[in-house]
A and B are shown apart, each in its own frame.
Chain A
Amino acid sequence: DTGVSQNPRHKITKRGQNVTFRCDPISEHNRLYWYRQTLGQGPEFLTYFQNEAQLEKSRLLSDRFSAERPKGSFSTLEIQRTEQGDSAMYLCASSPGTSGGELFFGEGSRLTVL
């Protein structure tokens, strides 16, 4: 399968714990995005990488959230000191440089904070 891969698919954690999600984009795509989606809502933008550079970051993203794409390939999204309000589906997407708004999404990582 050559689509966007996300791990883990499900994560249950206790409030205050740290969690990390991994995204492996489509190999030839240099753009990578993280979105968050809660039930009944559309995806909400978190951050965007072009190669290894983080070029956009939502001002809604608190300093408990950090994302990296160290070699311009896979990316990680870490949430520190999780809160119940962090419970959501975390979606990763990738795209080639010429695609405009055509993003290829993974199946998401669902986070439940107890």
Chain B
Amino acid sequence: EDQVTQSPEALRLQEGESSSLNCSYTVSGLRGLFWYRQDPGKGPEFLFTLYSAGEEKEKERLKATLTKKESFLHITAPKPEDSATYLCAVHDGIQGAQKLVFGQGTRLTINP
């Protein structure tokens, strides 16, 4: 069964303190790994797509990387506005399926 596990569940950092969030996945035939950001009371907002091991994507203070079993979301010198829940997801392993399987998320808090 396809699984996505994120760690830690919650992370509290000081402004400027860099760290990484982890997303481990088990899927037969990866067709993409996706990172989303979700603010309280809002729907998720798309950040990145990664397709193959070794691929990296960057956006402002965020960088996503991918290996054959996990993805990392690195956050460099974060600011309080980076506080949110970060979700990762993969496509269901069934060929052609559009279903995304999400992890439970990492709740990130950046203190000023």
Contacts and interface: CB of A to CB of B under 8 A. Distances in A.
Contacts of B34: 100-102
A106 B43 contact: yes
A105 B32 contact: no
Interface residues of A, number: 25
Interface string A66-77: 000000000000
Interface of A: 4, 31, 33, 40-45, 48, 50, 55-56, 58, 91, 93, 100-108
Nearest to B103: A42
A50 B97 CA distance: 12
Nearest to B6: A42
B44 A101 contact: no
B73 interface: no
Interface string B82-111: 000001011110000111111111000000
Given A40-B104, A42-B105, A48-B99, A101 B49 contact: yes
B43 A105 contact: yes
Nearest to A41: B104
A103 B46 contact: yes
